[in-house]
Amino acid sequence: MSAIARWVLEDVNSGETWTMPINPDRASSPLQDRSIATAYGVKTSRPGEGIDRVRSFMTPSDAKEWTWGGVIRTKDHYDQLAYWGRKERKVRVSDHLGRTFEALMQSFAPDDLKSATTPWRLRYEMTALVLRRIT
């Protein structure tokens, strides 16, 4: 039986990393849409003869907003998500599928789930701006 692959956050500048104790249970797609530009033109091989050509080019993709969320069960988990949500520099986010993305963290939004027996019972949503896919 293989181990569960955990999500990992890494600060690009400092090399600091944190492995999430509980993976998110929902996430939007982090994959950026492809941008394709089309140009029309005429290529002339010899004087008086023209060949119509259509050319397509891949252009840089726009950054994409990525959200994920899940449950929090401990104070340390809450504190770490809050800390990483405040990062102002690039963060590498590696998910359970082995994909790694470079992103800018935008927000961390916890939502308290009232419980008399579990004080650190929360749901959260994290939002990041994906700059590029690394792997």
Amino acid making up residue 42: V
Whether this model's pTM surpasses 0.85: no
- Average pLDDT, consecutive stretches of 10 residues, N- to C-terminus, the chain (135 residues): 88 97 96 72 58 67 92 96 97 97 97 87 97 93
Measured distance CA(28)–CA(107) in Å, rounded: 15
Tell me the sheet residues that pair with 72. Answer: 122
Q: How many CB atoms lie within 10 A of CB 77?
A: 18
Measured distance CA(26)–CA(70) in Å, rounded: 6
What is the predicted pLDDT for the residue at 97? 96
